[in-house]
Amino acid sequence: MNILVLGKGKTGSLVAEIARKRGHNVHAVGSADNAGGAAVQANALINTNVVIDFTTPHAILSNIEACARAGASMVVGTTGWYDQMDHVREVVKRYDIGFVFGANFSIGVNLFFDVMRAAAPALKLGYSGQMLERHHAQKKDKPSGTALAINNILRDASGMTVEIESVREGNIVGDHELRLESENDVVFLSHSAKSRRGFAEGAVKVAEWIQYKRGFYDFKDVWRELR
């Protein structure tokens, strides 16, 4: 299929590389190529099956709206826009596109999310919780979208959230750790990404999955269907 990758940073570039290796036609653009939304206008997206967005929080909403108007389905790995979730859901419905978003497209992280759901009841049984997330120094959002997703999972499963400590240093791909402590013991649950490859592979696989579908999806609800 024909894929447009918005964002030529480390993750976007890896997504483009993996998509090409999986046999897709890929066009990747950076912010300079998308000035004024040039890359997401209807005439520019005529032959595009899916747009994969790894840009920035300040650009993502305009990208979503432009792609939706053009009828292009999307996979969005950019975070920092979730306070506009209801608006985006309505845009997706209005223009009848396929749309998948995810705080993290790594299969391992989504397994970790399931572990968080299983652990959440401890917060109602006398355990206190604290989360530590560490990422590279260039990461703009703080806390990470993955950390916020974990807190949402904990809240949904227990009615409680935990304090998040964010660290930005070096070239750390992404570490997330939840500490649960009671008077009797301490439980540590953690996930550490060795590279961005798992994240990028997940984004390409879900783009393949969404190309013939319509509707608004969270990656955590669909990753088991990927091939």
**Is 139 labeled as catalytic in the residue annotation?**
yes
Distance, CA of 82 to CA of 87 (rounded, Å): 10
Residue with the two structure tokens 């005529």: 46
DSSP 120-189: GGGGGTT-EEEEEEEE-TT--SSS-HHHHHHHHHHHHHHS---EEEEEE-TT---EEEEEEE-SS-EEEE
**25: which DSSP letter?**
E
- Which tokens sit at 51? 């747009």
Look up 140 and say whether it is catalytic.
Answer: no
Is the Cβ–Cβ distance between 87 and 202 less than 8 Å?
Answer: no
Q: Are 161 and 143 contacting, i.e. CB atoms less than 8 angstroms apart?
A: no
Out of 10, 27, 93, 139, pick the active-site residue: 139
Please pick, among 8, 10, 135, 220, the residue that the annotation labels catalytic.
135
Catalytic residues: 135, 139
